[in-house]
């Protein structure tokens, strides 16, 4: 069987050049790792602003509490979906995972405009205050998105743009959740439109830039 020897030599050569690859952690565990970074930022904000103002707003205006809960759930589910899509063979239906939480977030936020009273300790935000909220969401979304993209590059997602959209949604929702800690303004049309613009901007930038970064992994 002399003709088999070149094949055996080739197999041996390829085996020598193989580099061990560390197995990826499950998507839910990598999601927890990213959420620990978000939780660290939340702790710093709570140390500075305290939790009492936020809890008073939520107690008097439950719609704000439900909106905050929806934002947190959207961040968790979108990050989980992004990590899941990074696993080869996973169904793209994972992209729908954040939908129920996003509906709660958007719906509860919109209900605030129908109230006839203003949440305690707040005021209706003007253009300047709304701009501050926009900068807050975008500013915190940048490092959170960068961290997610960094964690996902090893996974080599087969749908980089869709995964990047989920990265943007998770980061923007997490930033909106953090904003609840220090947000001294009630739900008004101007403020909500600003939040929506900030989230849309973060998602669009991630789709454009994050998709390219993930496709090069």
- Residues 151-179: pLDDT tens digits? 988 777 778 889 999 999 999 999 999 99
- Structure confidence at residue 4 as a pLDDT band (50, 70, 90): very low
Parent domain of 195: 62-215
Q: To which residue do tokens 């953090």 refer?
A: 178
Its pTM stands at 0.84
In whole numbers, what is the pLDDT of the chain averaged over residues?
83
Residue 11 belongs to some domain of the structure:
no
Query: pLDDT tens digit string along 44-92?
Result: 999 999 999 899 888 888 888 999 999 999 999 999 999 999 887 788 9
Give the integer Cα–Cα distance in Å for 169 and 206: 9
φ, ψ dihedrals at 186, nearest 5°: -80, 165
Look at 124 and 26; give whichever has higher pLDDT: 26
Residue 45 belongs to some domain of the structure:
no
Residue 211 belongs to some domain of the structure:
yes
Least confident segment among 63-77, 94-108, 193-207: 193-207
Q: How many domains does the chain have?
A: 1
Give the integer Cα–Cα distance in Å for 17 and 36: 37
**pLDDT score of 61:** 84
Look at 78 and 214; give whichever has higher pLDDT: 78
**pLDDT score of 70:** 96
- Structure confidence at residue 217 as a pLDDT band (50, 70, 90): very low
Tell me how many helices (H) and strands (E) the chain has: 9, 0
Residue 14 belongs to some domain of the structure:
no
Residue 210 belongs to some domain of the structure:
yes
Q: Is 158 helix (H, G, I), strand (E, B) or coil?
A: coil
- Structure confidence at residue 14 as a pLDDT band (50, 70, 90): low
pLDDT above 70 covers a percentage of the chain that reads: 78
Helix axes 127-153, 62-85, angle to 10 degrees: 30
Residue 78 belongs to some domain of the structure:
yes
Residue 53 belongs to some domain of the structure:
no
Residue 54 belongs to some domain of the structure:
no
Give yes or no for residue 93 having a pLDDT over 50.
Answer: yes
């Amino acid at each position: 069987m002399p003709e088999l020897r070149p094949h055996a030599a080739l197999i041996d050569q390829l085996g020598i050049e193989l580099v061990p690859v560390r197995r990826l952690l499950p998507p839910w565990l990598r999601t927890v790792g990213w959420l620990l970074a978000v939780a660290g930022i939340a702790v710093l904000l709570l140390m500075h602003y305290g939790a009492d103002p936020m809890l008073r707003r939520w107690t008097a205006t439950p719609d704000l509490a439900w909106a905050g809960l929806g934002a947190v759930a959207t961040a968790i589910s979108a990050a989980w979906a992004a990590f899941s899509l990074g696993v080869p063979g996973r169904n793209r239906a994972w992209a729908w995972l954040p939908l129920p939480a996003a509906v709660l977030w958007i719906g509860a936020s919109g209900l605030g405009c129908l109230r006839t009273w203003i949440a305690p300790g707040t005021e209706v935000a003007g253009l300047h205050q709304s701009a501050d909220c926009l900068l807050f969401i975008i500013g915190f979304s940048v490092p959170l998105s960068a961290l997610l993209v960094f964690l996902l590059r090893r996974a080599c997602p087969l749908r980089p743009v869709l995964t990047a959209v989920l990265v943007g949604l998770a980061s923007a929702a997490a930033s909106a959740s953090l904003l609840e800690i220090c947000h001294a303004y009630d739900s008004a049309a101007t403020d909500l439109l600003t939040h929506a613009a900030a989230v849309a901007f973060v998602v669009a930038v991630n789709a454009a830039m994050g998709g390219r970064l993930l496709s090069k992994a």
